Amino acid sequence: MTGTSAALLQLQKLLDGGKDNALLRFGLGFEYLRAGDAGAAIAHLRQAVVFDPTYSAAWKMLGKALAETGRHQEAREAYRDGIAAAEKKGDKQAMKEMQVFARRLFARRLAKPVAPE
């Protein structure tokens, strides 16, 4: 990985040192996504929501990472689960943002031309 940030190195050091929780995994996912490694970001963000299924920001970032890799169905599922988590938690802003992102993915899918048979 080229251009590894100091923040990413520090977070990875914490994980390697035995610390592991939702916030750490979210931070790693965020930093890997910023560094252009969506695959690593997805792995860490999935772990973040395993640790804390109500972590709306992690669901939102997971949806974004999945969408960036073209995994639109999985992104829609992440947004759906994130919307449910945000609603339970009362996180209206995150819920609205994920609803918008999910609608955009759906609209993008509908806008693709269908190949003639």
Q: What pLDDT digit, counting tens, does each position of 65-93 carry? A: 999 999 999 999 999 999 999 999 999 99
- Cα(67)–Cα(22) distance, rounded to whole angstroms? 21
| CATH code of residue 17 | 1.25.40.10
Position 1 pLDDT exceeds 50 = no
- pLDDT score for 105: 87
> Do the domain assignments include residue 34?
yes
- pLDDT score for 4: 77
In percent, the amount of the chain with pLDDT more than 70 equals: 90
Position 10 pLDDT exceeds 80 = yes
Stated pTM of the model: 0.85
> Do the domain assignments include residue 45?
yes
> Do the domain assignments include residue 16?
yes
* Contacts of 33 by beta carbon, 8 Å cutoff, 6+ apart: 41, 61, 64, 65, 68
Task: Please give the tally of structural domains in the chain.
Answer: 1
Structural domain for 96, as ranges = 6-110
